[in-house]
């Protein structure tokens, strides 16, 4: 469990809502710099895993180890500071704010100047602000959303909002990116764009990712390993080729033959 | 000399007969003047002439270190960026020749340009373009280096033929220590009659031909324009039309140096609207198609706005039109009308122009294709001084509207330096310093085009009280049975004035008993129109065949017909199930219709029209960007009037 390559280790995670058991003894590891796919049928508990990692849910049992800390004991609002950001399945942006403002808001936790210098635009405040703007503009350029910089997010197309949402996770400089169905509801072209962005982020910045996704083609193409969850338990883990042939996985997806 | 005091033309041009010589002069004389602005990361980055010259010098030295020799050819493919300009000027400094390529060209086209021009160096903007060239590289071994300037997505390419522009500049910088005067010497060796650019004619027919343009062609064109309008060195120009087109070579690459203007580059093509608003340019140049789009947008937005705004717009238009009419007739505008016009302008048109970013515009040009007189009137009504500029790749500039002498139906009066002759067949011949030096590797075509010392434009036209009237391509004028001639374009541009019509192509002539039209709808505007009327539709092809939409089109056809003489009235039309597309060779890259390929492709539609059938089943091929070919089948209705 203390392997140096392991970035994040999930150790026998059990989560229940009353009598409903959402996750039961799920364990897997995320290695540094890899894209790990998490797949499974609807309601299998994929999103629950992400919610446990980023502290939305507190599991009944089990630990999530990251940088010598147990994340299950860290409050949700402190988790991004540790370098874990996420995107949501249903876009959660400020729809009335512009793209730029949404990204700025996401960086607020990295802003550290006091109230006093904040009142006046000089010194540390000015330097900080410039630095943050530069980071954000880098992300805007990276994601090729320059033309919607000042558009209110609510007026954007679904595909673009998904991209802004990814941008919001990116500006937090994460070491681990949790992606909850980043390609749901997109057309082929948008999916290709998104897949390209994910690969570029992974290669350029070495960001590790946990990708929950329904589109098997995408998952098989861009992940290096896959974890399969069904009815709250892990039924398989391995490289995409193995997973494709795994009898339990086929059974979970296609039913009993 | 203070640059703000100088007027174009007053700046001595002696001895500066090539673009690189001009550039060196600008860098010496106005080192700290802003030459270019590029919006990047949301901020306008400025480059002074000294910096620009520095970049050009380093790129040129870098090219030399890679073995570039005088007379070598290079291709540039990309958007309008300062880097395009630097690379072009660098190649020209070394006595090379540049061919510009449109970014949306498919790989086969790029391959044709590469091989035909014999280029060994390629400047490609980004990953998309580099990928295209790398694919060609597999067969074409003549390519020595591919230089790119937008590194996104190219981080992990390890092909030895590709190199980042920054790296090339570093190479040049290292070299410059050893060879300080190398570039100066090369620039000095240049001559005004050296070929600078190959401009591939968009070619509405046949294979594209490479028109050879020399430095003097470029410089005399911008000199002509400067004679007509006084550009100031403080004027802002937005570089938006592709430099693969001769017009941007004249205005941006030569004009930017000559005046010298401040050349502004949008962040990317999609942001041009906001970028224009930021800059508030004094000089603006759009292709006819873009003005048409802009006019559509204005019309649709007005229709969509509140009743009060609509009323004010209509009232203001009426006042402004009255003034324009009086001025055209040479009458004086009364004080009351003058005052109301001022108020209308202040209340309605100023904010409208501001929205479009066109408030500061002194000179707005349209070129590339004919524009309908109604369109000209619309822009003049809202206070945009739009003028026709007529010319061609081979001829350079021919005629232009002068400030106090604008007639909407003409292409203006000839430039002083351009001699025009109308042949017996009604073809426009011209002679000037701007006329090209011939087609590369095609002496027969050159001989044919330059017979008798004049360039044969292939355009039909005539003079009317000093103004040149452009009819159409000579080959496209159609003789009707009863000895009447008609120009399809004359009708097509009137169709395109409607915000609901994207393209129109008109057929008639021998074997065709009446005139018919194929129309394509403007999807955005028609879908909005349909939504307002609660008409449900699924796709473009579905919407195009809706009874209500065909009714809308019928109304437009009737309206256009009311301007036409009986023999050229449109009697039947089809609303096409798709837009015309350059990827399918239906349009040129500058969005001109290619009549012959379209006629061939839609042969069955035309025959059904003339057989007077009511509808027709059509299966057509769709070529996707990645080269795949798909099939679409639909039922098209034919409407008769």
pLDDT at residue A214, rounded to an integer: 82
Nearest to A149 by CA among B278, B369, B37, B523: B278
At residue B58, does pLDDT exceed 50?
A: yes
Inter-chain CB proximity B155 and A137 less than 8 Å: no
- Of B81-85, B148-152, B228-232, which gets the smallest average pLDDT? B228-232
Residue of A nearest to B625 (CA): A189
At residue B11, does pLDDT exceed 60?
A: no
Quick check: bond before A218 cis, omega within 30?
no
Q: How far is B7 from chain A (nearest CA, A)?
A: 36
* Averaged pLDDT score across all residues of chain B: 88
Instruction: Report the DSSP beta bridge partners of residue B620.
Output: B632
pLDDT at residue B203, rounded to an integer: 59
Higher pLDDT, B566 or B627: B566
Tens of pLDDT, residue by residue over A175-222, are: 999 999 998 888 888 899 999 999 999 988 899 999 998 888 888 889
Tens of pLDDT, residue by residue over A49-93, are: 999 998 889 898 899 998 888 888 888 888 888 889 999 877 788
Tens of pLDDT, residue by residue over B567-588, are: 888 999 999 988 888 877 888 8
Inter-chain CB proximity B41 and A147 less than 8 Å: no
Whether chain A has a CB inside 8 Å of the CB on B156: the answer is yes
Tens of pLDDT, residue by residue over B190-217, are: 989 999 999 998 655 567 899 999 999 9
- Please report which confidence band the pLDDT of residue B490 belongs to, taking 50, 70 and 90 as the band edges: confident
Residue of B nearest to A137 (CA): B41
- Of B2-6, B13-17, B136-140, which gets the smallest average pLDDT? B2-6
pLDDT at residue B10, rounded to an integer: 47
- Mean pLDDT across the stretch B516-525? 91
Residues in chain B closer than 8 A to A150 (CB atoms): 274
Residues in chain B closer than 8 A to A137 (CB atoms): 41-43
pLDDT at residue B79, rounded to an integer: 92
At residue B546, does pLDDT exceed 60?
A: yes
Complex ipTM over 0.85: no
How far apart are alpha carbons B51 and B49 in whole angstroms?
A: 5
How far apart are alpha carbons B413 and B426 in whole angstroms?
A: 17
* Averaged pLDDT score across all residues of chain A: 87
- Please report which confidence band the pLDDT of residue A4 belongs to, taking 50, 70 and 90 as the band edges: low
- Of B32-36, B178-182, B250-254, which gets the smallest average pLDDT? B178-182
Q: How far is B137 from chain A (nearest CA, A)?
A: 24
pLDDT at residue B1, rounded to an integer: 40
Instruction: Report the DSSP beta bridge partners of residue B461.
Output: B470
At residue A6, does pLDDT exceed 80?
A: no
φ and ψ at residue A218, rounded to 5 degrees: -65, -45
Q: What is the percent of chain B where pLDDT is above 70?
A: 96
pLDDT at residue A257, rounded to an integer: 47
At residue B6, does pLDDT exceed 50?
A: no
- Please report which confidence band the pLDDT of residue B480 belongs to, taking 50, 70 and 90 as the band edges: confident
pLDDT at residue B312, rounded to an integer: 94
- Mean pLDDT across the stretch A132-138? 90
Q: How far is B154 from chain A (nearest CA, A)?
A: 10
pTM: 0.83
Whether chain A has a CB inside 8 Å of the CB on B155: the answer is yes
* Geometric angle at alpha carbon B416, from B411 and B417, rounded to 5°: 110
* Geometric angle at alpha carbon A10, from A9 and A11, rounded to 5°: 110
Continuous segment of H or E residues that includes residue A15: strand A6-17
pLDDT at residue B57, rounded to an integer: 93
At residue B5, does pLDDT exceed 70?
A: no
Identify whether the C-beta of residue B440 lies closer than 8 Å to the C-beta of residue B210.
Answer: yes
pLDDT at residue B563, rounded to an integer: 79
pLDDT at residue B272, rounded to an integer: 87
- Mean pLDDT across the stretch B502-519? 88
């Amino acid at each position: 469990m203390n392997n140096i390559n392991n970035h994040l280790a999930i150790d026998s995670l059990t989560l229940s809502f009353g009598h409903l058991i959402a996750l039961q003894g799920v364990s897997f590891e995320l290695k540094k710099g890899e894209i790990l796919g998490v797949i499974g049928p609807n309601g299998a508990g994929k999103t629950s895993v992400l919610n446990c990692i980023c502290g939305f849910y507190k599991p009944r049992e089990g630990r999530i180890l990251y940088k010598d800390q147990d994340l299950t004991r860290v409050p949700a609002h402190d988790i991004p500071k540790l370098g874990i950001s996420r995107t949501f399945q249903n876009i959660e942006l400020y729809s009335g704010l512009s793209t730029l403002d949404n990204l700025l808001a996401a960086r607020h936790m990295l802003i550290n100047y006091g109230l006093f210098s904040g009142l006046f635009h000089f010194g540390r405040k000015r330097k900080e602000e410039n630095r943050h703007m530069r980071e954000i503009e880098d992300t805007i350029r990276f994601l090729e959303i320059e033309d919607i910089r000042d558009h209110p997010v609510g007026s954007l197309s679904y595909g673009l909002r998904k991209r802004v949402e990814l941008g919001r996770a990116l500006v937090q400089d994460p070491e681990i990116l949790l992606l909850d169905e980043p390609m749901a509801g997109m057309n082929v072209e948008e999916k290709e764009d998104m897949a390209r962005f994910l690969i570029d982020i992974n290669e350029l910045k070495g960001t590790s990712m946990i990708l929950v996704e329904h589109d098997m083609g995408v998952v098989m193409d861009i992940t290096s390993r896959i974890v399969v969850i069904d009815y709250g338990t892990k039924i398989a883990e391995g490289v995409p080729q193995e997973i494709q042939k795994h009898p339990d996985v086929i059974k979970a997806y296609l039913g009993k033959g | 000399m203070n640059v703000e005091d100088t007027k174009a033309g007053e700046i001595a041009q002696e001895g500066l007969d090539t673009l690189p010589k001009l550039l060196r002069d600008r860098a010496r004389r106005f080192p700290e003047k802003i030459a270019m602005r590029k919006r990047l990361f949301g901020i306008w980055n400025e480059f002074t002439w000294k910096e620009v010259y520095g970049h050009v010098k380093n790129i040129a030295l870098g090219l030399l270190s890679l073995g570039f020799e005088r007379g070598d050819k290079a291709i540039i493919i990309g958007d309008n960026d300062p880097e395009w300009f630097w690379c072009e000027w660098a190649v020209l400094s070394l006595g090379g020749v540049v061919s510009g390529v449109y970014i949306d060209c498919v790989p086969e086209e790029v391959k044709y340009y590469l091989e035909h021009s014999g280029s060994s160096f390629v400047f490609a903007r980004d990953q998309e373009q580099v990928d295209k060239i790398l694919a060609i590289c597999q067969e074409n071994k003549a390519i020595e280096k591919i230089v790119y300037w937008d590194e996104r997505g190219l981080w992990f390419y390890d092909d030895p033929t590709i190199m980042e522009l920054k790296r090339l500049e570093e190479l040049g910088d290292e070299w410059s220590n050893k060879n300080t005067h190398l570039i100066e010497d090369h620039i000095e060796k240049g001559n005004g009659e050296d070929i600078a650019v190959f401009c591939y004619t968009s070619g509405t027919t046949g294979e594209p031909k490479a028109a050879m343009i020399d430095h003097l062609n470029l410089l005399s064109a911008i000199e002509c324009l400067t004679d007509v309008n006084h550009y100031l060195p403080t004027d802002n120009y937005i570089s938006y039309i592709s430099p693969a087109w001769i017009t941007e070579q004249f205005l941006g690459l030569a004009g930017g140096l000559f005046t010298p203007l401040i050349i502004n580059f949008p962040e990317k093509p999609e942001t041009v609207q906001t970028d224009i608003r930021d800059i508030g340019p004094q000089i603006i140049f759009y292709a006819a198609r873009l003005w048409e789009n802009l006019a559509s947008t204005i019309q649709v937005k007005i229709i969509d706005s509140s009743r009060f705004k609509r009323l004010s717009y209509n009232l203001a238009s009426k006042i402004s039109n009255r003034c324009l009419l009086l001025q055209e007739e040479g009458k004086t505008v009364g004080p009351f009308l003058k005052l109301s016009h001022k108020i209308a302008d202040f209340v309605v048109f100023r904010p409208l122009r501001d929205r479009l970013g066109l408030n500061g515009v002194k000179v707005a040009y349209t070129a590339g294709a004919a524009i309908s007189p109604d369109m000209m009137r619309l822009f003049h009504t809202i206070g945009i001084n739009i003028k026709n500029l007529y010319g061609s790749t081979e001829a350079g500039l021919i005629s232009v509207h002068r400030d106090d002498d604008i007639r909407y139906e003409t292409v203006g009066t000839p430039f002083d330096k351009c001699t025009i002759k109308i042949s017996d067949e009604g073809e426009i011949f011209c002679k000037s310093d701007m006329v090209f030096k011939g087609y590369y590797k095609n002496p027969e075509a050159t001989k044919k085009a330059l017979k008798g010392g004049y360039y044969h434009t292939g355009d039909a036209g005539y003079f009317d009280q000093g103004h040149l009237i452009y009819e159409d391509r000579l080959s496209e004028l159609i003789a009707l049975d009863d000895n009447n001639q008609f120009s399809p374009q004359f009708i097509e541009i009137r169709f395109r004035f409607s915000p609901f019509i994207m393209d129109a192509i008109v057929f008639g002539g021998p074997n065709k008993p009446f005139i018919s039209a194929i129309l394509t709808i403007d999807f955005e505007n028609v879908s909005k129109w349909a939504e307002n009327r609660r008409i449900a539709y699924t796709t473009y092809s579905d919407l195009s065949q809706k009874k209500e939409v065909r009714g809308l089109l019928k109304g437009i056809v009737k309206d256009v017909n009311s301007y036409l003489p009986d023999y050229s009235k449109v009697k039947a039309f089809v609303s096409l199930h798709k837009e015309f597309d350059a990827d399918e060779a239906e349009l040129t890259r500058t969005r001109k219709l290619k009549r012959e390929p379209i006629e061939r492709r839609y042969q069955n539609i035309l025959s059904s029209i003339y057989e007077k059938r009511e509808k027709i089943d059509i299966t057509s091929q769709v070529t996707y960007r990645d080269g795949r070919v798909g099939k679409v089948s639909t039922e098209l209705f034919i409407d008769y009037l």
